[in-house]
Amino acid sequence: MTTFNMVHTSDLHLGSLFSSTPEVAELRKQEQIDTLKQILDLCTANKADALLIAGDMFDSMRVESAFLERVKLLISHYNLRVFITPGKHDPATPDSCYNTEWPQNVHVFRGGMEKVEIPEKNTCVWGAGFTRTQCEESLLKNFNPINSRINILMLYGELFDGTSTDSTCNPIDVEDIKNCGADYVALGSSHTYQYYENNELLYCYSGMPSACGFDEPGEKGVLCGYAAKGFARMTFTPLDGRVYSKEKIDINGCAEPEQFADRIISVLRDRYGEKYSYNLYDISLIGTPFEGVIPPVPEIKRLLSESSIFYARLTDVTSPTVDFELLMNDGSLKGAFVRKLFEKKQSDSRGGDKYMRALLYGLSAFEGNVKIDEDY
């Protein structure tokens, strides 16, 4: 039985700005090259006949020339067919990176539906790519599978189940996919893995292989497997990449910076095991610190960094243990300060948290616990 072995990925977003983590953006951009290499190495290990990149390989249609050449050079070193369908972020416009010279082992589907025949594998790889950032009509039209061949179809788009949709991202009716006659459909645009079967047809979103922000949490990977005439088998394979995670950590009773940092590290180690220091965290500090203590966020971040946490962003949403009613009756300057802030807090229905933070920092300043050069 002839089979076509493949690895399916999409939404790499190479060259992303990593705007949610600007402090490590340049390093993360370089790590994207490592992710691509990991995928190519996986193709070699699985003896894949092809790597399918189903849209948004790049984060933009215009890519820095040096970065683009690194990507091309890396791909050229592998004895592997690479098929690319441009998506809405990297459409094949006349001035895009796809209308430049690519290695001989790469085929880019730069427009309407076309096929590449691979006779020795009895296979046709079909694809259609975006030529602008919006695509209102389904690119599935003009797909006419060859019944005697294994038919692999690559599409970047959004599935919908119904009579109409307002999607401008290549809307694809699920019924059209089910009846299209392909043996495997490699989909892109969804950043999460989705697996669908319909009788003998398998169609999947691989999800992105590596996250670019905190809105893309969890483990990422690619799909590895094969297609034969009449069926396909694909398995989700996690990649060794950094995870973006939003965390809530209770720092109840902590007083000193070291106590806050130790509590955070202990929780992350319990949740993520040996790789806890490798990930990126958006941490909300909850609970009630020791009486009168405000979490010293800059100092905690410094201690976490020294403890080899790759990246941690901290937000203080703790509940203070301060008797404001008693302070408001204080006849000193401190009492006047508290009364004034409470007046502002009551007159601004949407700024409650802001004034509460100001109260806490102001009270700490009265006690001499805030340095003027600290970044709060």
Q: In the chain, where are the structural domains located? A: 4-238, 244-366
Q: Residue 376: which pLDDT band, with cuts at 50, 70 and 90? A: very low
- Decide if 89 contacts 45 (C-beta within 8 A): no
Distances 28 to 51, 211, 213, 310, 375 between C-alpha atoms, Å: 23, 10, 11, 11, 25
Burial label, 145 (beta-carbon count in 10 A; 0-12, 13-18, 19+): middle
- Measured over all CA atoms, what is the biggest interatomic distance in the chain, rounded to whole angstroms? 91
Residue range 206-253, pLDDT digits in tens: 999 999 999 999 899 999 999 999 999 999 999 999 999 999 999 999
Q: Residue 369: which pLDDT band, with cuts at 50, 70 and 90? A: low
Q: Residue 321: which pLDDT band, with cuts at 50, 70 and 90? A: low
% pLDDT > 70, the chain: 91
96: which DSSP letter?
A: S
pTM: 0.85
- pLDDT greater than 90 at residue 100: yes
- pLDDT greater than 50 at residue 313: yes
- Would you tell me how many other CB atoms lie within 10 Å of the CB of residue 247? 18
Residue range 58-75, pLDDT digits in tens: 999 889 999 999 999 999
CATH topology of domain 4-238: Purple Acid Phosphatase; chain A, domain 2 (3.60.21)
pLDDT of residue 368: 60
Give the C-alpha separation, 77 to 322, whole Å: 64
Give the C-alpha separation, 127 to 140, whole Å: 9
Q: What residues contact 326, with CB distance under 8 A and at least 6 apart?
A: none
- pLDDT greater than 60 at residue 372: no
Sign of CA dihedral 340, 346, 350, 352: positive
Pairing type for strands 184-188 and 150-156 reads parallel
Q: Residue 334: which pLDDT band, with cuts at 50, 70 and 90? A: confident
Mean pLDDT of all residues in 76-94: 96
Give the C-alpha separation, 84 to 14, whole Å: 13
